[in-house]
Amino acid sequence: MLKAKYEALFNHGGLKRIIISRNRAKYALIFFLLATSGLMFLLRNILTLEKLRWRNSSHTAFPQMRSAPPYQAHTFCSHMSREPTPDEALEDRYLLKAIAWPKLPARPAPAPLNQTSDPVHSLFTILPSKGQKEWHVGDQLEALVQMNDFQGSPKRYGGDFLVARLHSPDLGAGVAGKVVDHLNGSYSALFPLLWGGSAQVQITMVHSSEAVAVLQRLREERPNRVFFKSLFRSGNLSETTTCIPCLPLNYPQQPLCNYTNLHTGEPWYCLKPKLLSCDTRIKHAMGGYENPLFTNKEARLFQSRVNIKVVIHASGPDRINVSKIDETELENSTIKPEPDKYTPSGYYYKGTWRPLGGTSVRQFNDPSSITQCLSGKVIHMYGDSTMRQWYEYLSAFIPDFNLHRSKLGPLMAVDFKHNILMNYRCHGPPIRIFPVSTSELRYVANEVDGLAGGPDTVVVFSIWAHFTSFPIEVYIRRMRHIRQALVRLLDRGPRTLVIIRSANFVAMDQTTSKHSSDWFSLQIDKVLRTMFKGLAAVFVDAWEMTLAHHSPHNIHPPPPIIKNMVDLILSRVCPDKKKS
Ligand SMILES: *[C@@H]1O[C@H](CO)[C@@H](O)[C@H](O)[C@H]1NC(C)=O
Ligand SMILES: *[C@@H]1O[C@H](CO)[C@@H](O)[C@H](O)[C@H]1NC(C)=O
Ligand SMILES: *[C@@H]1O[C@H](CO)[C@@H](O)[C@H](O)[C@H]1NC(C)=O
Ligand SMILES: *[C@@H]1O[C@H](CO)[C@@H](O)[C@H](O)[C@H]1NC(C)=O
Ligand SMILES: *[C@@H]1O[C@H](CO)[C@@H](O)[C@H](O)[C@H]1NC(C)=O
Ligand SMILES: *[C@@H]1O[C@H](CO)[C@@H](O)[C@H](O)[C@H]1NC(C)=O
Ligand SMILES: *[C@@H]1O[C@H](CO)[C@@H](O)[C@H](O)[C@H]1NC(C)=O
């Protein structure tokens, strides 16, 4: 019911029906009444931050922020931002349902460590192929995973975060698998067989279900575990205060500066400096991390080499032989997605990414092929540093015109001869960044509204890494404004090429898990895919491209992956005329 209603509304052109309404304040009273004294503690602590000097305050110098009361997912920030319209509320419900994660069974106390999932005691088995002796290209492979705890007893509930890939190192081949949670401690990993030869199954436990439950708690109860600061200056006076998208409810006597963006309605608040006025804010920067976040017991669920990203072994063989079909036939065949079967968005073969579903990728190996392709184009890139990687890759071919001599941007590259303009700008707050001038801190939706668009305009964005620590609503709201702006852009400038890059896997340890775990990114990634489904845009599946690849996970994927991503977008910027 919800699904049908959602799809009717938000996909297939229905996007245009999303309108901004000013219907708000209905629940303001309720939220006000929910305020508790715990919040006062938080504020008192934040206040002392003001005394800290800019640039001189190390992260450890920040006093601990007290935990906020458990916000219900759908109420985070509602008291400080516009109420969603009925359509937006429907979409929120749909998205929250789409990313719902299995709950741990109710029990009086948290499971002791020895009863939590242990990848070393868990095993997977490759299931025999149905009705045949051999595996063939085009078949689907299934591996069954049984999760066990540290004592070797089988787990009886689901919710572990597992990822799977099938790969052939000799062939430079790899594909992301799909993991299905049977909710009883067993999981199926599904893989399409896309190439001939030996293929090896790799299944990794990213987090135990018990660890995911802790991350969920952090996301809802400690939404400001990453916080920011701003520098205010006027004449010889300067002050620094803490900033977050939403300060807790009810802060009597505590003046705030409201930097809510008038155009998008994106909320952003800083504590008001003692002496200076709100309009003297000149810089934004990363503030710090709240600490501690884990109890001692919880910390044991996040141990590198024990229960964070540890490979699960096979009970029998971990590889199969896939019978080769004629090599030339394989190389040129386009594998068509089949209903009833899991179809990934692409796979690596001989180190190059091949998307499935009809679009082939050309290799842009020499500089002239790249400048030819981009000839006459204006490329606008927006987002975090994972977007800047594309800019940096391409600026090896287009002269970079960086007056700022800073990585923060905005960055610009110009090729007069081929009439190419490429620029990059970081997205608006929240952004964990070195001190950046607030005048350069702009919302992507507003920037997109300033573009005319058209067939020679390419708009690219990648926004995820700085949203992982916030309740998912913060991300949904941001994507909604960007989507609205892109819909307007496509109306204004038809045939503008819009390219969206999804989240990717990162290297994780106990500390980074708290605010940047792949589990948070997974949720963001699902939201992104769902929200942009109906939009005419090219989707670069960084999630699968980093999972399927052999290189270790890194928030900034290594050059071979970046090249594959850029070749993919160039193939869409200048499609092969002969073929189409
Ligand atoms: C940092 O603090 C030290 C002493 O606490 C002071 O001597 C120094 O000038 C400060 N540096 C800046 C950049 O404010
Ligand atoms: C902040 O400003 C926005 C836009 O003017 C407004 O809608 C919002 O209510 C303000 N927030 C607070 C807490 O006053
Ligand atoms: C499992 O852990 C609990 C609590 O730490 C402990 O009391 C119990 O003895 C352990 N069981 C085994 C079999 O090690
Ligand atoms: C778990 O569920 C799957 C799918 O329903 C089933 O095939 C399997 O036998 C179950 N495993 C156990 C141990 O109950
Ligand atoms: C700051 O400027 C004011 C007015 O220009 C001056 O009176 C004051 O002494 C200055 N303070 C410092 C610390 O330099
Ligand atoms: C795959 O084939 C090779 C030789 O062709 C053989 O040695 C190997 O045992 C086979 N592996 C499996 C898992 O069947
Ligand atoms: C396969 O593609 C390559 C390059 O795209 C081409 O040279 C070759 O002739 C094709 N082979 C067949 C059998 O179509």
Output the DSSP codes for 482-500.
HHHHHHHHHHHSTT-EEEE
Cα 446–533–217 angle (5° rounding)?
A: 80
**Three-state secondary structure of 318-374:** CEEEEECCCHHHHHHCCCCCCCCCCCCCEEEECCEEEECCCCCCCCCCCHHHHHHHH
- Among 56, 60, 231, the mutation site with the greatest number of ligand 1 atoms within 8 A of its Cβ is 56
Closest to 239 (Cα-Cα) out of 269, 272, 285, 268 = 272
Give the DSSP letter of residue 439.
G
Give the DSSP letter of residue 145.
E
For 69, residues 6+ apart whose C-beta sits below 8 A from its C-beta are 34, 36, 38, 39, 221, 248
The reported pLDDT for the residue numbered 22 is: 35
- Among 146, 181, 182, the mutation site with the greatest number of ligand 4 atoms within 8 A of its Cβ is 182
CA 112 to ligand 3 centroid distance, Å: 7
- Among 327, 328, 334, the mutation site with the greatest number of ligand 7 atoms within 8 A of its Cβ is 328
The reported pLDDT for the residue numbered 102 is: 97
The reported pLDDT for the residue numbered 520 is: 98
53 lines ligand 1 (CB under 6 A): yes
The reported pLDDT for the residue numbered 405 is: 63
Residues of the chain with pLDDT under 50: 12-75, 580
Q: Which residues line ligand 6 (CB under 6 A)?
A: 198, 317, 319-321
The reported pLDDT for the residue numbered 132 is: 73
Torsion (CA) 300, 303, 307, 312 in degrees, nearest 10: -150
- Among 114, 118, 149, 301, the mutation site with the greatest number of ligand 3 atoms within 8 A of its Cβ is 114
Q: How far is CA 554 from the centre of its chain?
A: 13
CB 227 within 8 A of CB 242: yes
Residue 506 phi/psi, 5-degree rounding, is -130, 165
CB 190 within 8 A of CB 180: yes
For 348, residues 6+ apart whose C-beta sits below 8 A from its C-beta are 172, 173, 174, 175, 354, 548, 549, 564
Q: State both tokens at 182.
A: 């049977």
The reported pLDDT for the residue numbered 340 is: 73
| Spatial distance between the Cα atoms of 276 and 270, rounded to a whole number of angstroms | 13
Q: Which residues line ligand 3 (CB under 6 A)?
A: 112, 114, 151
CA 291 to ligand 3 centroid distance, Å: 28
Tens of pLDDT, residues 335-359: 666 667 899 999 999 999 999 976 7
| Index of the ligand 1 atom closest to the CA of residue 55 | 13
Q: State both tokens at 364.
A: 């842009």
Torsion (CA) 92, 94, 97, 98 in degrees, nearest 10: -110
| Index of the ligand 7 atom closest to the CA of residue 328 | 13
Name all domains of the chain by residue range, CATH numbers in brackets: 113-214+299-327 (2.60.40.10), 363-573 (3.40.50.1110)
Whole-angstrom Cα Rg for the chain = 25
| Index of the ligand 7 atom closest to the CA of residue 329 | 13
Residue 510 phi/psi, 5-degree rounding, is -60, -45
Q: Mapping DSSP to helix (H, G, I), strand (E, B) and coil, where does residue 305 land?
A: coil
Nearest-CA residue for ligand 1 atom 3 is: 56
260 lines ligand 2 (CB under 6 A): yes
| Index of the ligand 2 atom closest to the CA of residue 256 | 13
| Spatial distance between the Cα atoms of 194 and 174, rounded to a whole number of angstroms | 9
| Index of the ligand 1 atom closest to the CA of residue 54 | 14
The reported pLDDT for the residue numbered 361 is: 92
| Index of the ligand 5 atom closest to the CA of residue 236 | 1
Q: State both tokens at 180.
A: 């299905």
CB 411 within 8 A of CB 450: no
| Index of the ligand 5 atom closest to the CA of residue 237 | 1
Cα 258–259–260 angle (5° rounding)?
A: 95
Nearest-CA residue for ligand 5 atom 2 is: 236
The reported pLDDT for the residue numbered 232 is: 97
The reported pLDDT for the residue numbered 73 is: 37
For 488, residues 6+ apart whose C-beta sits below 8 A from its C-beta are 448, 449
Residues in the chain: 580
51 lines ligand 1 (CB under 6 A): no
Nearest listed ligand to the Cα of residue 184: 4
CB 472 within 8 A of CB 72: no
Q: Where are the beta strands (DSSP E) in 193-345?
A: 197-207, 226-234, 237-244, 256-258, 269-271, 281-289, 310-314, 319-323
| Spatial distance between the Cα atoms of 216 and 471, rounded to a whole number of angstroms | 9
For 180, residues 6+ apart whose C-beta sits below 8 A from its C-beta are 187, 188, 189, 190
Q: Which residues line ligand 4 (CB under 6 A)?
A: 182, 184, 186
Print burial letters for 275-291: b (CB count within 10 Å at least 16), e (below 16).
Answer: ebeeebbebbbbbbbbe
Q: Which residues line ligand 5 (CB under 6 A)?
A: 235-236
| Spatial distance between the Cα atoms of 355 and 348, rounded to a whole number of angstroms | 9
| Index of the ligand 6 atom closest to the CA of residue 317 | 13
Cβ-based burial of 438 (10 A; exposed 0-12, middle 13-18, buried ≥19): middle
Nearest listed ligand to the Cα of residue 234: 5
373 lines ligand 2 (CB under 6 A): no
The reported pLDDT for the residue numbered 281 is: 98
The reported pLDDT for the residue numbered 308 is: 98
Torsion (CA) 376, 541, 337, 551 in degrees, nearest 10: 120
CB 546 within 8 A of CB 505: yes
Helix, strand and coil percent figures for the chain, each rounded to 5? 30, 25, 45
Specify the DSSP element, H or E, that contains 146: strand 140-146
CA 357 to ligand 3 centroid distance, Å: 51
Bridge-partner residues for 462, per DSSP?
383
Nearest-CA residue for ligand 6 atom 10 is: 321
Closest to 266 (Cα-Cα) out of 516, 515, 444 = 444
Q: State both tokens at 373.
A: 């392709």
CB 151 within 8 A of CB 184: no
| Index of the ligand 4 atom closest to the CA of residue 184 | 1
> Which residue, chain included where needed, has tokens 């769902």?
530
| Spatial distance between the Cα atoms of 191 and 189, rounded to a whole number of angstroms | 7
Nearest-CA residue for ligand 3 atom 4 is: 112
Nearest-CA residue for ligand 5 atom 11 is: 236
